[in-house]
Amino acid sequence: MQRLARPLAPTCLLLAVATLAVSACGSSNSSSPTAPTPAATTQSFSETLPQLGSVTHPFTVSAMGPVEIELTTVAPLATLALGVGIGTWNDTSCVSTIAQNDNARSGVVALRGTAAAGNYCIRVYDSGNVPEATAVTYTVQVVHP
């Protein structure tokens, strides 16, 4: 004896039609344009830092995007902590500190964030760890759009 398929109940049929209608509304053949991700630029700055001193390095961000600043080398003692800050650059000096890290160490990202296009500066400074009568050499790297 052959079984006949049972007709769908009206609520099941309504649910199936509603599901199809909702899924059809969710798809779209047109896509909104997205801005391309700007290419990352890596800049490195090397300098000698005296006890209680600071050194400023200006750089320009071309488009809004992520920025990372890291000490890549510190000598003669690689584990020595230095201060690293980011501020705005006015073509003469680093005028306004946006963020700083008084305990930045080589090999670890010191500062990370998102910056708008504009002129910025990195300030590397003795946060109280450079020994008396000693100069420290460092390289700081910034990755930005």
Quote the pLDDT of residue 36.
Answer: 72
Q: What domain range is 120 assigned to? A: 41-144
Name the residue among 50, 58, 44, 42 with its Cα closest to residue 106.
Answer: 44
Answer yes or no: is 32 within a domain. no
Please report whether residue 137 resides in a domain: yes
pLDDT of res. 96: 86
The predicted-structure confidence for 95-122, as pLDDT tens digits, reads as follows 889 999 999 999 999 999 999 999 999 9
In-domain check, residue 16: no
Per-residue model confidence as pLDDT tens digits over 125-144 = 999 999 988 889 999 999 99
Q: Is the pLDDT of residue 18 over 80?
A: no
CATH number of the CATH domain containing 62: 2.60.120.380
Establish if 47 belongs to a structural domain: yes
Average pLDDT rounded to a whole number, residues 32-50: 87
Domain tally for the chain? 1
pLDDT digits (tens, 9 = 90+) for 55-96: 999 999 999 999 999 999 999 999 999 999 999 999 999 988
Cα 18 from chain centre = 44
Residue 45 lies in a domain: yes
Assess if residue 99 is contained within a domain: yes
Is 83 contained in some domain? yes
| Domain contains 55 | yes
Provide the pLDDT for residue 30: 55
